[in-house]
Structures are given as C-alpha cells and as structure tokens.
Amino acid sequence: MLAVCCGITINNNVIYGSINTESSLSGLWRRCVMAKLNDSKNLGDFILATRKRQGLTQEDLALASGVGLRFLRELEKGKETCQINKIFLVLHSLGSSLYVEDKRDIS
C-alpha cells in the first residue's frame, strides 16, 4: 500500500494533512489527522480528542464500539493495562487505524 501525505501541519505530535492510499497520485485524497503515540497516555489523548472532534459522548462511543463505559474512560485516561483488542474496536468505531513504524535502518 502506498500512502502519500501532503499539506502537512505539525502541532504537538499531531499531524494534520491529506492522505492518498491509492496506488497512484490521482487516487482519492482525504483529510487526515495522525498522531505519534509513544505511550498509553498519548493513545488516550488521541482517542479523547477524536471523540470530541466527532461530537460523541463517552456513552455513544462505548456503545458503538461494543466496550464498557468504564473501559473507555480508563482508555482515555491512559491506563496502561487496557486490552489491545478492545482498543482496536474503539479505533475502528472512530474511523481510525493504528500504524506501526519500524525505526531500524532497513537498507
């Protein structure tokens, strides 16, 4: 998969821009928000900000994700022992994906 970003603005580890995940530059472009997540607190902050930007309550998101309200509250607070499968349910409900970067030199 090719992912091309353009029009990028960086603000406090959050990247705002446009992304094209098609195989050519003429593909569909969409606005995106990406965040560098270094720990559970960063992940919680991202989920909280995305939920609020979409106008959702914690109750709305918990119901849409199929997780408990307590789990969502703990996730947004950055609890370190949250279950990864439930995190993916919440991210999916927000229309978000999680990407991993390999920082090793692969040349």
Domain parsing of the chain, residue ranges: 1-36, 38-98
Specify the pTM. 0.66
CA nearest to 36, candidates 19, 63, 12, 57: 12
pLDDT at 9 exceeding the cut of 50: no
Fill in the DSSP letter of residue 66.
Answer: T
Residue where the block lists tokens 């606005």:
31
- Chain segment 33-91, per-residue pLDDT in tens: 666 777 888 889 889 988 998 999 999 999 999 999 999 999 999 998 878 889 999 99
Higher pLDDT, 105 or 83: 83
Percent helix, strand and coil across the chain, each rounded to 5? 35, 20, 40
**Within the chain, what is the greatest distance between any pair of CA atoms?**
47
Residue 27: what pLDDT?
53
In CATH terms, is domain 38-98 a member of 1.10.260.40? yes
pLDDT at 16 exceeding the cut of 70: no
